[in-house]
Amino acid sequence: MKRFMPIKKFIPQSANPVKDIKNTLHKNLEFTALEQYKLIRANLDFTLPENEKCPVIGVTSSIRGEGKSTTAVNLAYVFAEKGSRVLLIDGDLRIPSIAKKLQIHSAPGLTDLLRGKGKESFDFQSYLLDNWFVLPSGDIPPNPSELLGSSRMENVLKQLKEVFDYIIVDLPPVNIVSDAVSISGLISGMIVVIREDYTEKKELERCFRQLKLSNVNVLGCVMNEAKSGKATYGKYRKSRNYKYYRSYESHEKDSE
């Protein structure tokens, strides 16, 4: 296997990545929030297919603003904190936000790799920790959905899986565009983010109906900004235990 040695490193513009005003991102997370993300990490390790060399985890939700990108950044951070080699990919090729959140350049990035630019697939990575790399979106393409599900994407992921332990892909919402569904066949599974007091039940039902129809492997749900119970931040539940998912199942039975 090739030694892990990125050729060109793009260092964040600021040595101290963005100080989110709400303290929602990695280094600035409150202790309890960080602990919740670590719990999600632990649960994911149980849920992910055993013996998979480099799981690729997609992060999606039903609509915009539920906290997909925030969750993707923080999950990547806690996996990297444990010492794993982690790559966070901005797969939201319509409204990319990872570069902005982490104060790195948004291009070159994934779309350049998909166009076959860059001799080595890891030419374009930024790094935040020694073992945490970020592949921003690159320039916005006209056909994100086709690109994400393409054989080019499959090849790019295949190469990247050789050099990382985990890959996390931030994706657009399921109810708005088909991008998340189109990449689903190329990844290990999907995490669905739900924001408390924000996501409407009917949107969530629509989202799960779509994911089920497309045979997407849902690894679990993350309850973002959860206010109930002891924890005040992200919570992770395996989808079969999640109340909305249950009601989705009963809805399916009712309609049979």
Interface residues with ligand ADP (CB under 6 A)? Answer: 20, 22, 24, 61, 64-70, 97, 224-225, 233
- Residue 216 to residue 132: CA distance in whole angstroms: 27
Instruction: Indicate the DSSP class of residue 49.
Output: P
Q: How far is the CB of 94 from ligand ADP (least distance, A)?
A: 11
User: What are the phi and psi torsion angles at 99 (to 5°)?
Assistant: -60, -45
- Selection from Mg ion, ligand ADP, none that 65 binds (CB < 5 to 8 A by kind) is ligand ADP
For ligand ADP, the closer of residues 17 and 54 by Cβ is 17
User: What DSSP element (H or E) covers 213?
Assistant: helix 201-213
For Mg ion, the closer of residues 71 and 121 by Cβ is 71
Q: How far is the CB of 232 from ligand ADP (least distance, A)?
A: 9
Interface residue with Mg ion among 97, 111, 188, 224 (CB under 5 A) is 97
The residue with tokens 């690894």 is 219
Instruction: Indicate the DSSP class of residue 10.
Output: B
Structure tokens at 179: 């991008």
- Selection from ligand ADP, Mg ion, none that 199 binds (CB < 5 to 8 A by kind) is none
Q: How far is the CB of 68 from Mg ion (least distance, A)?
A: 5
For Mg ion, the closer of residues 163 and 204 by Cβ is 204
Q: How far is the CB of 128 from ligand ADP (least distance, A)?
A: 17
8 A C-beta contact, residue 43 and residue 220: yes
Structure tokens at 90: 């901005």
For ligand ADP, the closer of residues 20 and 123 by Cβ is 20
For ligand ADP, the closer of residues 70 and 175 by Cβ is 70
Kindly state whether residue 71 participates in binding Mg ion, applying the rule CB under 5 A.
Answer: no
- Selection from ligand ADP, Mg ion, none that 243 binds (CB < 5 to 8 A by kind) is none
Residue 118, classified by CB atoms within 10 Å of its CB into exposed (0-12), middle (13-18) or buried (19+), is middle
- Residue 4 to residue 191: CA distance in whole angstroms: 28
CB atoms within 10 A of CB 11: 11
User: What DSSP element (H or E) covers 203?
Assistant: helix 201-213
For Mg ion, the closer of residues 109 and 131 by Cβ is 109
> In whole angstroms, how far apart are CA 202 and each of 175, 210, 223, 226?
11, 12, 16, 19
- Selection from Mg ion, ligand ADP, none that 67 binds (CB < 5 to 8 A by kind) is ligand ADP
Instruction: State the sign of the Cα–Cα–Cα–Cα dihedral 42, 46, 49, 51.
Output: positive
- Selection from ligand ADP, Mg ion, none that 49 binds (CB < 5 to 8 A by kind) is none
- Selection from ligand ADP, Mg ion, none that 8 binds (CB < 5 to 8 A by kind) is none
Q: How far is the CB of 217 from ligand ADP (least distance, A)?
A: 20
Binding site for Mg ion (CB under 5 A): 68-69, 97
